Structure 1
Amino acid sequence: MKKNIIKISLVALTTFVSLTSCDRNLDQISSINEDQDQSMTRAESFRQALDGAYTAFKGSGYYNGDTGSQLIMGDLTTDNLVRTASGRNTNFAASNFEFSSDNSQTTGLYSAAYLAISRANFVLSYINNGVLSGTKKTNIEAEARGLRAIAHFDIVRAYSQIPTQSAGAKNAIGIYYSEKYSPLSNTASRNLTVDQVYDKIIADLLFAADNITQNDADKGRLSKSAIYGLLSRVNLYKGDFANTIKYGELALGLSPSITTIDNFTRIWKENEGLSRITDGVLFQLSNAPAESNNTVGAAYNQSVPSLRSEFVVDYDLYTAYTANDIRKSAYFTTGVYSKEKYNHVTKYAGNGGPSNVVPIKYLRSAEVLLNVAEAYYKTGNPAQALTLLDKLRKERYSSFTPGTEAGQAILDAILKERRLELAFENDRWYTLKRLNLSVQRSGKGDLFDGTGSPAVKQTLAAGSSKWQWPIPITAIQANPNIKQNDDY
C-alpha cells in the first residue's frame, strides 16, 4: 500500500474511511509535502493533526453549509421550524420526512462524522511511536478519544435507535465503531448492538475524563468539564440516570455558570467586537470572521439585504417565549422580506462582523443542568429537580419567582425549558426520539402571526422507522457489509 503524502499543516485532513466514501489518491508530492511517518516524528505534528479532527466538525454535513447542516436538522424535522414560502426550498425533503439514502439532507452527517473519527484515529495510530510522553501524550490521546466518542455518538443517535426509544432498542443494530486508522478498509460492518456502541463511547469518554489536561479556558478544545458534560448527555440517552447525575454534577462543579442573564445575548453574538464571551459554554467549534466561508447561520437565512429565511420559528413555539424571557430577543428578529413579515431565527446571525460567522456551541452547561434535573426527577428526587430548574429560570426571565410545580408538572416544565433553551441547537429531534414521542406540528403558517403556509406534513408517529435515518447509498456501495436501515 502506498504511503500517504501529506502537507503537515493539514495532516490527516484529506483521509476518508472507505466505509463512507471512495478512496482519494493522496500520492501528491511537492516542496511543502512530506511523508506522514516523517511528519509524525515531531511533537508539534500531533497537535496539528488533532486540530484537523476538530476542523472536520466544521465540514459539510456537520456544521457548515445550508443543506444537511446539523445546526438546523434537529429542528426542521420537528415542530420547532416551518419552511417559508419565500425561501429556496433547501432541506424541504427532510422537513417533509422524505428521507432517502441518496439525499444529503439526512445522509451527510454519516460521512462527515466518520471523517472526524478517521482523523482522530490517525493521531492515535502514532500515539505510541515514542515522540510524546507523560501528560503531553495522555492529553493528546484523551482529546483524540473524546472526539472519536462524540462523533460516534452523533452517528449512532441519528442512524440507530436510542436506548430509551423502545423496549428492544438496546439490542437493536448499532453502527460500526472505528477504533483503528484504516482508510483503505472495506470490511467494516454494523456488528455491534446499540448498547455495545454506547459502552464504547462511554469507555472513550471515561479515558478522556481521567487523562485530559487541556485548559478549560479554551472552549474550542475538549476539557475535563466538557468531557464530564458529554458523559452526562450520553448517559441520559442510555437511560442511566445515576451516571447522568454523577457526571453532570462533576461538570457543573467545574463550570457552574449556566450563562448569566446579562451575558446570554452576548454569547450568541460572538463576532461582537473582541468580547468573545463564553460564559456557560463547555465546548464549541471555533469559527472566526477570518473563516468567512463558514457561514454556519446560512442554513436559517441570508441577508439580501433584508433577511430571507429558509425556515422560521413555529408560531406556537415563538409565543411560548414570554416577553420577559431573554432568549426571545437573543434568538429571533421579526422583519419583512418580499412584503411579508416573519419571525426569523437569528441565533447565529452574529453582530458586527461577517453575517452568520459564529462559533457553534456543541455543549453548554445549561444543557447539562437540564440533563441532571430530568435525571433527578426520574430517580425520585423531584425537589432537587425543581431546584435546578429554578436555577436556570432565574437566569432567563427578568422577573422570576420560584416554581411551585409538583409531580408530573415538574417533568413537563423541565422538558418545556429544554425546548426553549436548546431550540436550534440540534436537540429537539433527538429529545422526541429518546422519549419515544411523535412529531406533532401546530398547523400554523410561516408568517409572523401564524398565518401563511403551514408545513406540508404535520405528524410523524413515534414508532416510525424514519426515526432512524438512512445510511448513504455511497457508503453501502463502497462497502456492501454496511447494512441499510429498515424501510430504505
Structure 2
Amino acid sequence: MKKNIIKISLAALTVFVSLTSCERNLDQISSVNEAEEQAMTRPESFRQALDGAYTAFKGTGYYTSDTGNQLIMGDLTTDNLIISESGRNSNAAAANFEFSSDIAQTTGLFSAAYAVVSRANFVLSYLENGVLTGTQKDNIEAEARAIRAAAHFDILRAYSVIPTQKSTAKHQYGIYYSESFKPLDNNASRSLSVDESYKKVIADLLIAADKITQNDADKGRFSKAAVYGLLSRVYLYQGDNANTIKYGQLALGLSPSVTTLTNFNSIWKENEGLAKITDGVLFQVLNAAPERNTVGVAYNQLIDGQYRSEFVADYDFYNSFANNDVRKTTYFTPALYNKKMYNHITKYAGNGGPVNIVPIKYLRTAEVLLNVAEASYNSGNQGTALALLNQLRKERYTGFTPGTEAGQALLDAILKERRLELAFENDRWYTLKRLGKSINRSDKGDIADGSGTPATTRELKANNDLWQWPIPINAIQANPNIQQNDGY
C-alpha cells in the first residue's frame, strides 16, 4: 500500500539533530499550514507523521544516493565486492579502509539514523494527548518504538563494538539512546555501555512486540512478525542464542515462507517502486512515487544500454554461487562495458521501470531462519540447524538434494548460505565483525574472468579499531560530550 505523507509546515517540526550539527526537515507539509499542536489533535495525523519516520530511512547516508549508501557499505568494505576501474571511484576511501571522521562514507549513517529516531520520537511525544485510544494507540506506539529501535541498532552495530566481537565489548562505549523529542538538545553523550545500549534497543522492541496487533499485509510498516524478526537479529548480535531462537521461531510461525524458488526473482525485479510480490519480506522501505529514490545507484548506472559499475562482484565470491542457484541470475548480470566483461550487481536494478528504483528489503524471513539456524547450532541442536538450512536451500537450488552436514561443516554451511543469501543487503561487514573474523580479500581483479586490477587493500585484521566506524567530526564539534572511537 502506498503511504500518504502530509506535510506540516512549522519551524518546530524542523529537526536539529544536535548529535550531528545538521538540520533535517520532516517530510510533512499540509495545505492548511497549521501548528503541530493543532495537527496532532487528529488521529490521522499520527499515521501521517509516522509515515514521515519511515520515509526518513531513505535519507542520504541510509538508503539513497551513492556515498555511504547502506545497501552497499556492508559489502564494499568486505570480500564481496571490488572497485571497478570503469566506475567513478565513489566510496573508494571506504573500500580501502580509509575511514575518518570527516568522510561521509562511514559517518553519514550516524546523522541519517538519528534523524529517523527524531521523527519517531516526535510521534511518541504526542501519544498521551488523548487523541488516540485502545488498539489504534497501541499500534502507533509499537511502530514508533520499532522504528526507533531499528535506527538505534543500526547506529550501535556500526559505531560500537558488538558483544560477540570481543570479550570486553559489554563495558565499552555504547551510544546515545534518544527517548524523547528534544531537537535542540546538545547535551547528549555516550554514557551508556554497549550492554546497556542493547538493553535499550531490546526494551523498545519487546514493548512493540507486546502492543502491536496489525498483520503484515503492508510490508512497508512494522508488523508483529517483523518486530519478532528484528528481535532475533538483535539477540544474535548480543550473543543470546535462546532468545534468538525464541523470537525467530515466533516470526517464522507468523511468516514461514523464506520466499519460494518461483517467487525469488520477482521480489527483487517485479516492478519499480512498489513490488507486487512480497513473499518472504517482513519489512521493506517503500520507494514509490513521488520519492522514487535511486537506491541502487551506488552499484551502477545504465548508460546507453550498458551497466557502468562502481563496484562489481569479487571473482571468487561470484563463483561461489552454483549455476543452479536462483540467486546467481537474480543478483548478477555479466555484461560488457566499454568492451570489457564485468559481473555487475543488478539486484536493485529493477525490471522495466526507471533503473535502480526499487523497495529496500530491510528484513526478510530468510535472515530470521538463518539467525535461528546459527543460534540452534551454537546451542548444540544440530538437527534443527540442519533442517532449517535445508529448508532455505530447497528454495534456492533447482534439483536440490538435502544436505547431511554435521559439526564444523554444518556451521560453515550456515555461514556460507548467509553470505550468499544476504549479499548486498548490508550484512557481510557486520557478520564478520560480530564473529570476530578478519577480512581477507582475493588477489583477483575486477574483470569477469578475474583479470584486471585487484583490491588495493586486501586485509583488515579482526583486532583493528577500524571495525568501529568514526563518529562524525561535526557531531563532536557541536557536542564535545560525544566520545570519539579509538583510533581516530
* TM-score where L is the length of structure 1: 0.96
Q: What is the aligned partner in structure 2 of residue 302 from structure 1?
A: 301
Q: Deviations over 1:356-402 (max 9, x none)?
A: 10000000000000000000000001111001000000000001111
Contact 1:93–1:99, Cα closer than 8 Å, also in 2: yes
Provide the secondary structure at the position in 1 that maps to 2:34: strand
User: 1:9 Cα shift?
Assistant: 8.0
Contact 2:438–2:461, Cα closer than 8 Å, also in 1: yes
**Equivalent residue letter for 2:354:** P
Q: Deviations over 1:92-145 (max 9, x none)?
A: 000000000000000000000000000000000000011111111111011000
Whole-Å separation in 2 of the counterparts to 1:127 and 1:274: 30
Kindly report which structure 2 residues correspond to 1:131-280, keeping only aligned pairs within 5 A, or say none: 131-271=131-271, 276-280=276-280
Contact 2:272–2:354, Cα closer than 8 Å, also in 1: no
Kindly report which structure 2 residues correspond to 1:324-473, keeping only aligned pairs within 5 A, or say none: 324-473=324-473
Q: Deviations over 1:158-214 (max 9, x none)?
A: 000000000100111100000010000010000000010000100000000011122
Q: Deviations over 1:411-442 (max 9, x none)?
A: 00000000000000000000000000001101
Provide the secondary structure at the position in 1 that maps to 2:16: coil
Whole-Å separation in 2 of the counterparts to 1:176 and 1:270: 39
After superposition, the Cα gap between the structure-2 partners of 1:479 and 1:273, relative to the gap in structure 1 and judged at 3 Å, is closer
Unaligned segments of structure 1, at least 5 residues = 1-5
After superposition, the Cα gap between the structure-2 partners of 1:33 and 1:387, relative to the gap in structure 1 and judged at 3 Å, is same
Contact 1:300–1:311, Cα closer than 8 Å, also in 2: yes
Q: What is the aligned partner in structure 1 of residue 321 from structure 2?
A: 321
Whole-Å separation in 1 of the counterparts to 2:393 and 2:357: 29
Contact 1:289–1:354, Cα closer than 8 Å, also in 2: no
Contact 2:163–2:170, Cα closer than 8 Å, also in 1: yes
Provide the secondary structure at the position in 1 that maps to 2:319: helix
* TM-score where L is the length of structure 2: 0.96
Contact 1:161–1:169, Cα closer than 8 Å, also in 2: yes
Q: What is the aligned partner in structure 2 of residue 63 from structure 1?
A: 63
Q: What is the aligned partner in structure 1 of residue 21 from structure 2?
A: 21
After superposition, the Cα gap between the structure-2 partners of 1:34 and 1:79, relative to the gap in structure 1 and judged at 3 Å, is same
User: 1:327 Cα shift?
Assistant: 0.3
Whole-Å separation in 2 of the counterparts to 1:11 and 1:19: 19
**Equivalent residue letter for 2:248:** G
Q: What is the aligned partner in structure 1 of residue 33 from structure 2?
A: 33
Whole-Å separation in 1 of the counterparts to 2:18 and 2:273: 43
Q: Percent identity?
A: 72
Unaligned segments of structure 2, at least 5 residues = 1-5
**Equivalent residue letter for 1:266:** S
Whole-Å separation in 2 of the counterparts to 1:52 and 1:148: 13
Determine if the alignment matches structure 1 residue 51 to structure 2 residue 51.
Answer: yes
**Equivalent residue letter for 1:302:** Q
Whole-Å separation in 2 of the counterparts to 1:10 and 1:397: 53
Whole-Å separation in 2 of the counterparts to 1:33 and 1:111: 27
Contact 2:275–2:359, Cα closer than 8 Å, also in 1: no
Contact 2:21–2:478, Cα closer than 8 Å, also in 1: yes
Q: Which is worse superposed, 94-103 or 207-216? A: 207-216
After superposition, the Cα gap between the structure-2 partners of 1:272 and 1:155, relative to the gap in structure 1 and judged at 3 Å, is closer
Q: What is the aligned partner in structure 1 of residue 3 from structure 2?
A: none
**Equivalent residue letter for 1:194:** V
Q: What is the aligned partner in structure 2 of residue 483 from structure 1?
A: 483
Whole-Å separation in 1 of the counterparts to 2:72 and 2:86: 18
Q: What is the aligned partner in structure 2 of residue 3 from structure 1?
A: none
Provide the secondary structure at the position in 2 that maps to 1:33: coil
**Equivalent residue letter for 2:256:** P
After superposition, the Cα gap between the structure-2 partners of 1:241 and 1:13, relative to the gap in structure 1 and judged at 3 Å, is farther
Contact 1:76–1:311, Cα closer than 8 Å, also in 2: yes
After superposition, the Cα gap between the structure-2 partners of 1:451 and 1:216, relative to the gap in structure 1 and judged at 3 Å, is same
Root mean square deviation of aligned Cα? 1.9
Provide the secondary structure at the position in 2 that maps to 1:450: coil
**Equivalent residue letter for 1:45:** S
Q: Deviations over 1:324-363 (max 9, x none)?
A: 0000000000111111110000000000111110000000
Contact 1:11–1:52, Cα closer than 8 Å, also in 2: no
